[in-house]
Amino acid sequence: MITLTVQELMDVTQATLVGDKSLASLSVTELVTDSRIFDCNETEHAGTAFLALKGANFDAQRFVPQVVAQGCKVVVVAKAESALAQANVAQLVVVDTRIALGEIAAYVKQQVAPKTVGITGSSGKTTVKEMVAAILSRLGNVLATLGNFNNDIGVPLTLLRLNNSHDFAVIEMGANHMGEIAYTTGLVKPDVAVINNIAAAHLEGFGDLCGVARAKGEIFSGLGDNGVALYNQDTKYTNKWQWRLEGKTTRTFSCVNQADCYSSDVSLDELGCADFTLHTHQGNCQIKLNIPGKHNVCNAVAAASIALEFGASLEDIRLGLAKMQPVKGRLNLHQLASRVKLIDDSYNANLESAKAAAQLLSSYPGKTILILGDMGELGSEARSYHQEVGEFAQQLDIEHLLTLGVLSQSASDGFNANNDLAKGQHFNQRDCLLKALFSLLNSVLENTEQEVAILVKGSRSAHMEKVAQAIITWFEQAKNTQSQEEIS
């Protein structure tokens, strides 16, 4: 974060200073919302301010005395702590600490003034963000959203990480209710705003896909006169945001049809990674991805479209995409044994991403095993969406479907429907699923020489990463046992 004085924080947030007025000249080099950052070392956090957020189930105001006792000199609060009135601490009292967080973040962004892209969409936005960051890092210093810091708290915290060394900011924006993206876009004020796609995700907060489209379209409301609006030409419901594009420069991308930027001649290698031709206004180039999944071609085309707006060359795009590293829990490929692959896609799931994962799995040779946990926030049609995934997996000739949870029972039912040979099994407990999986793997590996591909998918609430880790551990233990036997 750039250095701000207490007086600047007061001006930005319209705060009232409770405490010695001379504290207004104090310098703040970091603003945090997690009280655990503070410890007993007073000098280490001399320039750190604490902002006390309040939510439905928590109120960080109660930690204010604790952080002050640990050396914090500046706190941003909704009410002053009378017990600290005589302490050597600046209490900045604001109406709403969440809004104050956003105001400070927007001010930091304004002062640094990096070239900025805001990215939203129902799926793939994290991958697009990482791809864009990899490309733009060839042109300058890039700040990108970490993890899933993409909501009305995460976006401001991301902006606070900006400093004067940053040339670019790549900001991911998610939402689970109307108005959230409008709010965060107002803070970010992107030079380029992107909608990657529209799909069935977070339907509980939006009602239906039309609601999702309207919510994602809010990202275009924060574009300035010289801003560029980018969206996936293949996406339905674009009429829900077209009115926001009047007077703005608009470009499209596609992985199916011709657009301002599009792909063609897609092929997959033995690991499922794509090779394709990228078509742009600068010309064409051949792109090779190092992350699996044909659907990542669409993400790469979106990333290329963004990078072109910031002056990247085709060589920058080619080399940037080639070095882009997989995001943890998103199609991470593990070679567990000479004949066994695990694709860990456990980070999150919705209808379209689950279908894309199933399609990737079906591209691998040998026995295919899809392990699916519940997909969350799909609204009243959740069971039908799970059934649709099961039916889709059956159509792809995936051999085994193991499901875990409550809603995923419908995926198993869809997989087994009208097919006496289908091998779908549902489990309510993780241990039971793993026991069945390991029994299946033992049988396959002992009795045949065929390859095996396993893919794990589910929403974050399903904690399918624990299933993926259990599989990895099982194979590691098997290798250790084998090594010991060989030594003996």
Among 134, 114, 238, CA closest to 188: 114
Annotated binding site for ATP: 121-127
Place of tokens 């409770």: 18
| pTM (2 d.p.) | 0.86
The arithmetic mean of pLDDT across residues 238-254, rounded, is 91
Residues 406-450 pLDDT 10s: 999 999 999 999 877 778 999 999 999 999 999 999 999 888 888
Degrees to nearest 5, angle at CA 27 with 14 and 167: 90
- 392 domain-assigned: yes
Q: Which of 97, 128, 143 is a domain's end point?
A: 97
pLDDT at 66 over 70: yes
Residues 359-389 pLDDT 10s: 999 999 999 999 999 998 888 889 999 999 9
Q: Are residues 43 and 120 in the same domain?
A: no
Q: Specify the CATH number for the domain of residue 64.
A: 3.40.1390.10
Q: Are residues 151 and 197 in the same domain?
A: yes
For 140-143, the CB contacts below 8 A with 24+ separation are: 140/167, 140/168, 141/165, 141/166, 141/167, 141/168, 142/166, 142/167, 142/168, 142/169, 142/170, 143/114, 143/168, 143/169, 143/170
CA distance linking residue 138 with residue 409, whole number of Å: 47
Q: Are residues 352 and 430 in the same domain?
A: yes
- 310 domain-assigned: yes
- 287 domain-assigned: yes
Residues 252-276 pLDDT 10s: 999 989 999 999 999 999 888 999 9
pLDDT at 200 over 80: no
Q: Which of 323, 344, 376 is a domain's end point?
A: 323
- 105 domain-assigned: no
Q: Specify the CATH number for the domain of residue 310.
A: 3.40.1190.10
- 13 domain-assigned: yes
CA distance linking residue 349 with residue 326, whole number of Å: 17
Residues 125-162 pLDDT 10s: 999 999 999 999 999 999 999 988 999 999 999 999 99
- 106 domain-assigned: no
Among 59, 103, 102, CA closest to 77: 59
Q: Are residues 88 and 124 in the same domain?
A: no
The arithmetic mean of pLDDT across residues 96-116, rounded, is 98
User: In what helix (H) or strand (E) does residue 373 lie, and over which residues does it extend?
Assistant: strand 367-373
Alpha helices, DSSP H, located in 241-381: 295-309, 314-323, 351-362
Annotated binding site: 121-127
